[in-house]
A = this chain, B = another copy of it.
Amino acid sequence: MPHREIDQLAARIPDGASLALPPDNSLSPGALARALVRRGARGLRLIGVPVSGYATDLLIGAGCVASVMTSAVTLGEAGTAPRFTAAVKAGTIEVIDATCPAIHTALQAAEKGAPFMPLRGVLGSDLVAHRPDWKVIQNPFADGSDPILLVPALQPDFAAFHAVCADSQGNIYVGRRRELATIAHAAKCSLVTVERMVPGNLLEDELMAPGCINGVYIDSVAVAERGTWPVGLLDEYPLDAAHFREYATLARTDAGFATYLERFVHIDARVAA
């Protein structure tokens, strides 16, 4: 039963939940995304923080996704995200376009318990007209005309990401990828996969503590070795560029994507890695 622990973690995310995911350069939970495909998740409302990559494209392709709020979906050097692009053309998912700092701002508002936060820029972009949840007000502190965008707080049902390690108190280490702390603070429930468990209390270690997220925000931890694969993990292992190219090629067609699922999702992806 090689997937047992991670499949249990995936089972905690119900159909229809909103789920915030980091981008491919920031501890994206590849193994958990594959577990969600295996469990046949449906109707997920994904949030790219602030952009989306492999995990989002995979979940869209497998029919798990109702909507995606993001600033972009891309496979980076491997090109555009084929299943996302196909789904937009087919009209099978709703796309709620944002811009990176608006995603960060909305999550920071939730992190602070504020109902909204202002954001400079953006005005004049057609994004504004397509985001009825955003508001433009006159800056109450300005003397002259000064319109400014207000973005409402965004509290995802779930945040999911991978971390280097966890201790028995649920504290996790993500190093310099501090945006994951913002997601964990903002979300109602944070599910984390880790490479390994470590003894002791990470927060008592002055050298490790700055890269930690306090266990108060973390609801469940599951060990998943190479849990970001095919994405890399800090200085531990690099992005698997060959696999990204293979995914990008296979995912261009429905049949190719089915082959990908068969070879890398429904069998043990970690062996394949």
Contacts and interface: CB of A to CB of B under 8 A. Distances in A.
Say how many copies of this protein the assembly contains. Answer: 2
A128 to B, nearest CB: 15
A197 to B, nearest CB: 19
Interface stretch (A67-75, A117-125, A258-266): A117-125
Interface in A88-105: 101, 105
Contact of A141 (B135, B175, B209): B135
Nearest to A120: B113
Interface string A234-256: 11000000000000000000000
A116 interface: yes
Given A206-B234, A207-B207, A115 B141 contact: yes
A99 to B, nearest CB: 14
Interface in A220-241: 234-235
Nearest to A174: B210
Contacts of A234: 206
B114 A210 contact: no
Contacts of A16: none
Contacts of A140: 116, 135, 137, 150
Contacts of A12: none
A140 B112 CA distance: 18
A110 to B, nearest CB: 12
Contacts of A178: 210
Contacts of A210: 175-176, 178, 210-211
A209 B175 contact: yes
A152 interface: yes
A142 interface: yes
A66 interface: no
A87 interface: no
The 7 closest A-B pairs by CB, nearest first: A210-B211, A210-B210, A176-B209, A206-B235, A176-B210, A114-B118, A135-B140
Given A115-B142, A141-B152, A175-B206, 4 more contacts: A115-B120, A115-B139, A116-B141, A207-B208
17 contacts: A112-B117, A113-B120, A114-B117, A114-B120, A115-B120, A115-B148, A116-B139, A117-B118, A141-B150, A141-B152, A175-B207, A176-B206, A176-B210, A178-B210, A206-B235, A207-B211, A209-B211
